[in-house]
Every structure is written in C-alpha cells, then in structure tokens.
Chain A
Amino acid sequence: GAVVSQHPSRVICKSGTSVKIECRSLDFQATTMFWYRQFPKKSLMLMATSNEGSKATYEQGVEKDKFLINHASLTLSTLTVTSAHPEDSSFYICSARDRVVNRDTQYFGPGTRLTVL
C-alpha cells in the first residue's frame, strides 16, 4: 500500500519551454501533496504544499508563477515548470499524505529528473 507514482521519470527540454510533472497516489486518497527539489548530494527542499481543491502554499523564495501547482483531485497533483531555464535543472520529488491512515506520514514518488538545455 501507499504507493505514489510520478511521471515522467526523466525529461529533457529546451530553454523557454514548459514542462508538466504528474504525481499520483495510487492506492490512497491524499488531501495534501508536497513538491520538493533535490540538488545533487543535498537534502530535500520543500517547494510547496498542495491541498486538494485549493491554492498551493509556496515556501519563501519559490516563484509561484514559475512553478505552477494544481491539485484537482484526491489522487493527482501536477507541477508545471514554466519557461524553464538551465538553472531549473534538478531532481523534483513529490509526496502524498494519506488522509486516513498515518496522517502525518508522507509517501514519496520516485522523482523526476529535469534537464533544461
């Protein structure tokens, strides 16, 4: 149980284009999903908290117009990197929190490696 999928696992795009990353909870409902960024050999940095049916809450320093988050259902959240630039290249990880069981435990997706050329 508690499986989170993330798609795509790897994406390469040209500078200036937009990229959408999907995060799905496969066997549970998640009222809250989280988006993290991880630089090589570093820890996870929380970017934003996504609540189903409401606007995402962004961490300080994260541009909400650049990193668009949509959480339209209890099993799906999307992160769109708009007008991507090489400095946006990174490993992006989503997580989901089960609204019923172990409500404070986050289950993580496998991550998406974004490379912007």
Chain B
Amino acid sequence: AQTVTQSQPEMSVQEAETVTLSCTYDTSESDYYLFWYKQPPSRQMILVIRQEAYKQQNATENRFSVNFQKAAKSFSLKISDSQLGDAAMYFCAYSNNDMRFGAGTRLTVKP
C-alpha cells in the first residue's frame, strides 16, 4: 500500500521568509500524481500545487514550488516570501486512482 510521510508536525516561518515542508512517499508504481493541499482554520481543502510523476520539471505556482526527487521518493514544498495567510495545515498527497494523505504539517507564520 502506498504511504505518505510528513516528518514535520509543526513548522514556523517569519513573514517574508522562505520555508520548506518535507514529504516522502512509498510506492511501486511509476505513474502517479503528487499534491500539496492547504487546510486553513475554515477546514476547506485548497489545492496548492500538483506534480505529475512522469514530468521531470518541478511544478511552480507563484510563491509555491516543489522539489520532486522521483528516485528518492521525495516531494518537498517551498513557500517563498511567506505571508500571514499561508498559515494553515499542509497535507502532502499521493494519487494513483485513490488519494492518500500524509499526517500534515502545521505552518505558523510569525509577523
């Protein structure tokens, strides 16, 4: 079974600084998708960024970028120029038909 591991239960970053959230996963599949979702206090799950495993190029979405290392099965999220609104739970997810989530990382942004 596929598993997703987020080893950082909590992270903190100063406003305007950069923070990296870690994620590793385990799979025997070669074709799959990886995601980062954000869950603010409202509990609405918001898609942050998406990566297709067959693409070598790392996905970017404005201030959000990933470091996808397929051989190492690593998928970290970098948030640049952190803003107060970035404070939330961040979930890493793996999908090959079904989606599996990591335990989440709670990000605090200090003003």
Interface residues of chain A, those whose CB is within 8 Å of chain B, are 34, 38, 42-44, 46, 49, 91, 93, 95, 102, 104-108, 110-111
Contact = CB atoms under 8 A, between A and B. Distances in A.
Interface size bracket, B side: 20 to 34
B50 interface: yes
B103 interface: yes
A95 B45 contact: yes
Interface of B is mostly: strand
11 contacts: A34-B98, A42-B103, A43-B104, A44-B101, A46-B98, A49-B98, A93-B45, A95-B99, A105-B47, A105-B50, A110-B43
Contacts of B104: 42-43
A43 B102 contact: yes
Nearest to B106: A41
Contact of A108 (B44, B95, B103): B44
A110 B91 contact: no
Contacts of B37: 108
Nearest to A34: B99
B64 interface: no
Given A44-B101, A46-B98, A46-B99, A102 B50 contact: yes
A104 B95 contact: yes
Interface in B94-111: 95-104
B45 A104 contact: no
Contacts of A42: 103-104
Nearest to A108: B45
B62 interface: no
Given A43-B102, A104-B97, 16 more contacts: A34-B98, A34-B99, A44-B91, A46-B98, A46-B99, A46-B100, A49-B98, A91-B43, A104-B33, A105-B47, A106-B95, A107-B47, A108-B44, A108-B45, A110-B43, A110-B44
